[in-house]
Amino acid sequence: MKTYHGSCHCGAVQFEAGIDLSAGTIKCNCTICTKLRFWPAIVKPEHFRLIAGDTELSNYRFNTKTDQHQFCKHCGVHPFVIGNSPRWGVFYGVNISCLDDAPIEELVNAPVTYLDGRNDNWDSPPLEVRHL
Ligand SMILES: [Zn+2]
C-alpha cells in the first residue's frame, strides 16, 4: 500500500489515501458511475484523510440515500464517495482519476473489477463494460 495525494480540479479539496492499486479498482454501470465515468479504489476509512476542503464539499444522495457522493462546490469534481455496503462495510470509494501523484503506469496496470450496479446484481459483471 502506498500513500497517494489527491484533489478536486480547483484544489479546494485535498486528501490523502493509502491504496494498493495492484489490488484492484472498480468500474460500475450504475446510473451515477456511468454518468461520472467514476473509477474508484475501495479504501477503508482509516486509510483516508481529508486534508482540506471539508466545508467546500457538498454531497449528493439518491435512491437508498446510503452513499454520499462527495463533490466540490466550486469545480464540481467528485473526488470520493462514502458508502456502506454488505461487501465492504463503511468504505471510501476514492476516485483514482483525482490522484495527483499516481504514476500513469500504476493506473493502467491497476486491475479493474466491473460491477453490475445498474441491475443491483453484485455477483457477476455486466454484459457490456466498454463504455464505462
Ligand atoms: Zn474544486
Residue with cell 480540479: 9
Work out how many domains the chain is built from and give that number.
1
- Taking only the tens place, the pLDDT of each residue in 48-76 is 999 999 999 999 998 888 899 999 999 99
- Which residues are close to ligand 1, an ion, with C-beta < 5 A? 8, 10, 12, 72, 74-75
Asked if 131 and 125 count as a contact pair (C-beta separation under 8 A), the reply is no
Q: Which domain holds residue 20?
A: 2-117
Residue 34 to residues 31, 38, 83, 84, Cα–Cα distance (Å): 5, 7, 17, 19
Percent of the chain topping pLDDT 70: 100
User: Residue 21: left (phi > 0), alpha (psi -120 to 50), or beta?
Assistant: alpha
Per DSSP, the residues of 29-40 read: -SHHHHHHT--E
The answer to whether position 131 is within a domain reads no
Looking at 43-130, list the stretches that DSSP marks H as alpha helix, in order from N- to C-terminal side. 104-109
C-alpha 124 – ligand 1 centre gap (Å): 35
Q: What is the pLDDT at residue 67?
A: 92
> What's the whole-number average pLDDT of the chain?
96
The answer to whether position 74 is within a domain reads yes
- Taking only the tens place, the pLDDT of each residue in 13-29 is 999 999 999 999 999 99
The answer to whether position 125 is within a domain reads no
CATH number of residue 62's parent domain: 2.170.150.70
**Model confidence band, residue 2 (pLDDT cutoffs 50, 70, 90):** very high
User: Does 39 score more than 90 pLDDT?
Assistant: yes
Which three cell numbers mark 1? 500500500
C-alpha 79 – ligand 1 centre gap (Å): 9
The answer to whether position 42 is within a domain reads yes
The answer to whether position 124 is within a domain reads no
The answer to whether position 64 is within a domain reads yes
C-alpha 86 – ligand 1 centre gap (Å): 31
Q: What is the pLDDT at residue 64?
A: 86
Q: What is the pLDDT at residue 66?
A: 87
